[in-house]
Amino acid sequence: MAAQDAPKPYAPPVLRTRREQMYFPLTDEEIDRLRRFGQPRRFTSGDYLVHAGETGLGMFLILSGRVNVSRRDRIRNMPSPVSPACTR
């Protein structure tokens, strides 16, 4: 199957209609203002940022790279991931 023929990943209706509101690019000045609320961290491929049901660290601001958001149901099936393609 050619890349242009590949099926598009599933996106819930709210993501399709409000993508620009949820995943908007930040200016360098906005990123600098947000830096005071956290600490830079690096993650490698396969690392988890948060697990379902656990208290997370708060907000993540992804400055580079990709994050795959997924979840497993009670019988360990993994539905299609929802991962916005936000690039800067």
Q: Is residue 3 part of a domain?
A: no
Instruction: Answer for the pair 81, 9: CB distance below 8 angstroms, yes or no.
Output: yes
pTM greater than 0.75: no
State pLDDT tens for residues 37-62: 888 889 998 888 888 778 877 888 88
Task: Tell me how many domains the chain contains.
Answer: 1
Is the residue at 1 inside a domain? no
What's the rounded Cα separation, in Å, for the pair 47 and 88?
A: 21
Residue ranges of alpha helices (H) inside 1-88 are: 13-22, 28-34
* C-alpha closest to that of 61 among 81, 83, 32, 21: 32
In-domain check, residue 35: yes
Instruction: Give yes or no for residue 15 having a pLDDT over 70.
Output: no
Q: Which residue segment(s) compose the domain that 66 sits in?
A: 10-88
| Within-domain flag for 75 | yes
Separation CA 70–CA 80 (nearest Å)? 7
